[in-house]
Amino acid sequence: MPDPLIDTPTLEKIERLTIHWQKSLPGLVGGHNTSRFAGPGQEFLDHRHFHHGDDLRAVNWRVYLRLEKLFLKMFQLEPRIPVRILLDISKSMSAGAASKFDYARRLAAALCYVGLVRLDSICLQPFSARLHDAFTASGGRHRFQPAVNFLASLQPAGQTDFLASARQFISEYPQRGLLLVISDFLDEHDCEKPLQYLADFGHELMLVQVWADEDRQPPWEGELELEDAETGQRVELAFDAGARARYTAEFDEFCDRLERVALRNHGRYVGLSTSVPVEQAVFNSLVASGVLQ
């Protein structure tokens, strides 16, 4: 029996939420977010001249009686776009006392449940140095248990390579949609450029950065021999309060850069510490960011 990841009371609380995206993305009807694209919908969008082949049911007959010209009523499309969750399963996610990997899985499960309840199409895409096997589900909460089983079966391994993963993602998922990236974004190389690629391709970015407290403020002092969880590199150093302050400043600067990438591309950014409970993160941080409403 896999770990339920999220208990039932929490699921009952979050099922009233909805995944919200800002961009107008094309897609089939059936979604719940408005789009600037016209199509079958309920909300009036605009008029245009009637062309041959247009549906006569959309002709505005009142205008025709007055002006004796055929105008077609256009309606706002509420497309059903794919929600993809890129979940970082590299080894850095399991380093330290508090496992970011578990936290990220629980967060992904919560977002998956919210999407499934609103009949969104959800794709769970784990990645490290490349994309791993994905899990796609849509059509109701009864598909949540397979999603949980999928998440529970994941194991942290490998190095993070955002660039390779982004390229592979773009090639495998040509349809634009909402892209939720749950990761610590700790790549040996720069992760901002790959994220920019994804945004430039047309995806709406939602960056969820997960960190452990010791990632931001290491509690140790004195002589340290540090080992990189992904690369295995070692370094010896002396650490004290001053060094800790500089370290934290560097970390915060990195977070700011990530946020700037997201905002610059009309996306959103949420930084979450593993000390914050998942339920609190969902209802406070994610709702405040607007990705959940």
Partner 1 sequence: MNFLNLSLGELLGLTGAISAGVVALYLLDRSKRNQVVSTLRFWVSADVRTQLKHRRRIQQPWSLILELISLFLLLAAIAGPRLGIIDGSGRDHVLILDTSAWMGSRARQGTLLDEARASARAYLRSLPSRDRVMLVRADALATPATSFESQHAVIEEAIRESQPSASALNLEQALDYARIAQKQSKRPGEIVFAGAGRVPEEQATLDWLPPNLRVLPVGTPQENVGLRKVGLRRSPSQPDTWDIFVVVRNYGARPHDVDLALQFGKSPAGEKRFSLRPGSEETAAFVYKTRVAGYLEARLNIRDAFPQDDRALIELPAQAALRVIVYSKEPQLLRPLIAANPQVQAAFDSPDQYNPAANADVVVLDRFAPPSPPRVNSIWIEPPASGSPVPVVQTKTAVRLERWRDETELGQNLRTQDAVLESSELFQPAAGDISVAEAAAGPLIVARQDKDLKLVVFGFHPGRGAMKYQLATPLLMENILRWIAPVAFRQWEVQAGTVGIVRVPVEKGTDPASVRVLDQNQRPLPFTIQDDTLQFFSGAPGNVSVLMGPRETVYSLTLPDVAEAVWTPPASVRRGVPRASLEGSATRDLWPWLALLGGLGLLVDWLLYGRSRVFRLRASQMVSPLSSRIAAKVGWRRQERKAS
3-state secondary structure at position 262: helix
CA–CA separation, 147 and 228 (whole Å):
31
Exactly one of 226, 256, 263, 277 binds partner 1 (CB under 8 A); that residue is 226
Exactly one of 250, 256, 264, 275 binds partner 1 (CB under 8 A); that residue is 250
Residue 200: how many CB atoms within 10 A of its CB? Answer: 10
**Binding status of residue 224 toward partner 1 by CB under 8 A:** yes
Exactly one of 5, 205, 215, 270 binds partner 1 (CB under 8 A); that residue is 215
How distant, in Å, are the alpha carbons of 37, 41, 47, 151, 201 from that of 80? 12, 12, 23, 24, 19
Per CB under 8 A, contacts with partner 1 among 47-106 are 92-93, 95-96, 100
Q: State the burial class of residue 249 (Cβ atoms within 10 Å of its Cβ: 0-12, 13-18, 19+).
A: exposed
Task: Count residues near partner 1 (CB under 8 A).
Answer: 40
**Binding status of residue 217 toward partner 1 by CB under 8 A:** no
> CB 103 → partner 1: shortest distance, Å?
13
Binding mask 153-192 for partner 1 (x = CB under 8 A): -------------------------------x-x-x----
Q: Which helix (H) or strand (E) holds 245?
A: helix 241-264
> CB 255 → partner 1: shortest distance, Å?
11
3-state secondary structure at position 258: helix
> CB 154 → partner 1: shortest distance, Å?
18
CA–CA separation, 45 and 47 (whole Å):
7
> CB 237 → partner 1: shortest distance, Å?
4
Contact 224, 236 (CB under 8 A): yes
Exactly one of 50, 197, 251, 283 binds partner 1 (CB under 8 A); that residue is 251
Contact 115, 140 (CB under 8 A): no
CA–CA separation, 243 and 217 (whole Å):
10
Exactly one of 70, 163, 243, 287 binds partner 1 (CB under 8 A); that residue is 243
> CB 6 → partner 1: shortest distance, Å?
24
| Closer of 53 and 232 to partner 1 (Cβ) | 232
**Binding status of residue 193 toward partner 1 by CB under 8 A:** no
How distant, in Å, are the alpha carbons of 3, 179, 232, 274 from that of 113? 15, 16, 36, 20
> CB 91 → partner 1: shortest distance, Å?
9
Torsion sign, CA atoms 4, 141, 287, 82: positive
Select the span of 3-11, 28-36, 143-151, 215-223 touching partner 1 (CB under 8 A). 215-223
Which residues contact partner 1 (rule: CB under 8 A)? 92-93, 95-96, 100, 184, 186, 188, 212, 214-215, 218, 220-231, 233, 235-243, 246-247, 249-251, 254
